[in-house]
């Protein structure tokens, strides 16, 4: 009887470990760089590159990325990833996105920029993983050193 209980515990632990090994963890999404800003009379278009990190040991086929971006606690815009990408296991991938920012929001963000300090940002949304597009929520906040980002070569 003791052997049967021990065997059952061993099988349960192996099954639990195997399930955890293939369960996708929440991706970590950060702003890698600001690639371009196109100024327009009614606002601006920002081309950003997001870095999506995959902390799990299995590749994540990212089908879509939907998010809301905040600068200095102001909701700037909603965005979407421009193309599907596979994030390698325990790795990361760069995802280009585009944000259209209206003139009023741009004025609020510009006021925050005029302080000369690093710009606080927050990104929250969902990453759709796999063929079925399983939504995986994510949220991340950080700061952007605008002087460092604007001096970085476009390909880095």
Which of residues 11 and 27 earns the better pLDDT score? 27
114 occurs within a structural domain: yes
Domain interval for residue 85? 23-151
Average pLDDT over residues 99-125: 81
Average pLDDT over residues 5-16: 38
HEC secondary structure over 32-74: EEEEEEEEECCEEEEEEEEEEECCCCCCEEEEEEEEEEEECCE
Average pLDDT over residues 45-68: 88
Residues 48/67, Cβ–Cβ less than 8 Å: no
Average pLDDT over residues 21-46: 78
Q: Report the alpha-carbon distance of residue 8 to residue 36 in Å, rounded.
A: 58
pLDDT in the model for residue 91: 95
pLDDT above 90 (res 90): yes
4 occurs within a structural domain: no
Q: Report the alpha-carbon distance of residue 141 to residue 139 in Å, rounded.
A: 7
Give the chain's domain count. Answer: 1
3 occurs within a structural domain: no
pLDDT above 90 (res 121): no
Residues 94/127, Cβ–Cβ less than 8 Å: no
């Amino acid at each position: 009887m003791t052997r049967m209980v021990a065997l059952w515990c061993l099988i349960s632990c192996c099954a639990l470990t195997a399930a955890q090994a293939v369960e996708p963890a929440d991706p970590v999404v950060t702003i890698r760089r600001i690639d371009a800003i196109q100024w327009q009379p009614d606002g601006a278009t920002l081309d950003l590159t997001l870095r999506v990190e995959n902390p799990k040991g299995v590749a994540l086929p990212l089908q879509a990325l939907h998010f809301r971006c905040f600068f200095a606690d102001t909701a700037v815009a909603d965005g979407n990833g421009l193309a599907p990408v596979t994030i390698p296991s325990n790795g990361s991938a760069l995802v280009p996105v585009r944000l259209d920012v209206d003139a009023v929001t741009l004025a609020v963000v510009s006021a925050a920029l005029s302080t000369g300090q690093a710009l606080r940002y927050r990104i929250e949304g969902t990453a759709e993983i796999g063929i079925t597009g399983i939504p995986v929520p994510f949220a991340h906040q950080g700061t952007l050193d605008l002087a460092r980002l604007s001096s970085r070569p476009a390909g880095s």
